[in-house]
Amino acid sequence: MSTTLDLLRPELSRLKPYKPADYVGGCIRLNANETPWRPPGDDSRDGLNRYPDPRPAELAAQLAAHYGVAADMLLVTRGSSEAIDMLIRSFCRAGRDEIVLCPPTFGMYEFYAQIQGAAIRRIPLNRDQGYTLPVDEICAQWTDCSKLVFVCSPNNPTGNSFPDSEVERLATGLAGRGVVVLDSAYVEFAASDPLHGMLARHDNVVVLRTLSKSLSLAGIRCGSMIGRAPLIELIGRALPPYCFPTTSQVAVMRCLGAEAQS
């Protein structure tokens, strides 16, 4: 039986992670062609003439503590929107693979699938049963080309949460065949948070979190992709270095610090 890692595009495991210029705090890196002068009006701690940390390790550690997971299980993304894009690009071969959606649901899954050239299989929520998750239909219609199913809970736009037992039944049904992406953008407004149990029991579940909603930080663009460490490491290889701006790193850490004290 194949594993979740086998479902990734093979290019990804062959991809050598980009090696940025060594990051030495406090020094100007001429090897990265940084200018030695700060721009006018720059009152930032480290200087905006400097590239940010290529992978924001300090920020990842703080976010991991916020969500109660190990740091190597979390990839910092520019909003959870970018995590959706990364997942589709990492699993779906253009023109060959597909994602599964359960409408009515968040529109960006479809948008990113179209950009990647991934097909979309739509299996609607059971409207007459209060928008329940069609677990059996998803498992029955799954094909070798199906890679990801997006489960948004609480769901945008219907607002209902799916029982953990149903999401887990889906993960079990797709083990070795597909990945359940649990978009938890609104989970802080729900009665409970299934993150830890879900990740402990299933290697084919990836959870998306964002600071945009419950913490009112949409302008910072900070999302997290959380999953088993080997999967997160491989997907992270496709993320460009230096992509999370210094100003956002500092702002997130300040806001999370204030949140922890409130």
Residues between 179 and 208 with contacts to ligand PLP, criterion CB under 6 A: 183, 185
CA angle 241, 11, 202 (to 5 degrees): 85
Least Å from the CB of residue 34 to ligand PLP: 29
Cα separation, 7 vs 123, in Å, equals 21
85 is an interface residue for ligand PLP by CB under 6 A: no
* Choice from 106, 131, 142, 244 touching ligand PLP (CB under 6 A): 106
153 is an interface residue for ligand PLP by CB under 6 A: no
Cα separation, 75 vs 227, in Å, equals 9
**β pairing state of 119-122 and 98-101:** parallel
As separate numbers, helices (DSSP H) first and strands (DSSP E) second, the chain gives 9, 7
Q: What region, left, alpha or beta, does residue 223 occupy, with left being phi > 0 and alpha being psi -120 to 50 degrees?
A: beta
4 is an interface residue for ligand PLP by CB under 6 A: no
Residues between 208 and 227 with contacts to ligand PLP, criterion CB under 6 A: 210, 212, 218, 223
Total chain residues near ligand PLP (CB under 6 A): 12
Report the residue count for the chain.
Answer: 262
70 is an interface residue for ligand PLP by CB under 6 A: no
Taking residue 183's Cβ as centre, other Cβ atoms within 10 Å add up to 25
* Choice from 156, 158, 172, 214 touching ligand PLP (CB under 6 A): 156
Binding mask 220-259 for ligand PLP (x = CB under 6 A): ---x------------------------------------
By the criterion CB under 6 A, which residues form the site for ligand PLP?
79-81, 106, 152, 156, 183, 185, 210, 212, 218, 223
